[in-house]
Amino acid sequence: MSNLILIRHGQSQWNKERRFTGWADIDLTEEGKSEAKHAGELIKKLNIEFDYYFSSYLKRAYNSLTIILNILDRSESEIVKAWELNERHYGNLTSLDKDQMIKKHGAKQINIWRRSYDIPPPPMSNQHLYRKNIYLNIPKDKIRESESLKDTFERVVPYYKKKIEPLIHDKKNVFISAHGNSLRALCKELFCISNEKIVDLEIPTGNPLLIEFSDSFKVKNYKYLDSKRARKILFNV
């Protein structure tokens, strides 16, 4: 049997400010750091030896994982960074205030851009303040000007199948620190969630989701380690 932990980074500064973050490289708040520390304490109680650690390229995910590794006394462990695990690219909405955008476009339209499966936000303009930073280390032909959850799924899941799933099959224990939408995409695959139901799935910040696989590599058990902050996993049934 193998174990997989998925964790969305702790609260970021733009989570706190209710701004669209996407690929903007925004760091953790003090509360976010505390969430990561608490996550590490919960994980430490499991007494699971993890063999591999994965993170997105974005500092809020990477720094959450380094905080957790310090709690686990594994600060020297190698972390594999993958842009494929980055948050969904919010296009021209990046950095904008969510409440202001609701006033401008209406709650229904913002909800479509945020929660729908296959409708992306408006593409990022060439003049956007964060454009250079976002595309600094990523080949432009690898990432769209904005992404729907479907677009995110189409980069996250192939990476998982190529780089991480074989480790699960080899009965290794794996840890992934990523983002709300990249983890929604992965959960869609792991839990066979339909296109219709995925819009209702929310991933809490800083709460580890432990997934246990059977010997046939199917999901056997799963639970959020902090039950008070858990979210329901919606199966395709």
The residues carrying an active-site annotation are 9, 87
What are residue 5's DSSP bridge partners? 175, 210
Radius of gyration of the chain measured on its C-alpha atoms: 17
Name which of 59, 72, 70, 98 is nearest 179 in CA terms. 59
Report which secondary-structure segment, H or E, holds 190: helix 180-190
8 touches 180 (CB < 8 A): yes
By CB atoms closer than 10 A (0-12, 13-18, 19+), residue 33 is middle
Q: How far is CA 88 from the centre of its chain?
A: 9
Separation of alpha carbons 88 and 146, rounded Å: 8
Torsional sign, CA 82, 85, 89, 94: negative
Separation of alpha carbons 222 and 183, rounded Å: 15
Name which of 208, 89, 202 is nearest 156 in CA terms. 89
Location of structure tokens 């800083």: 206
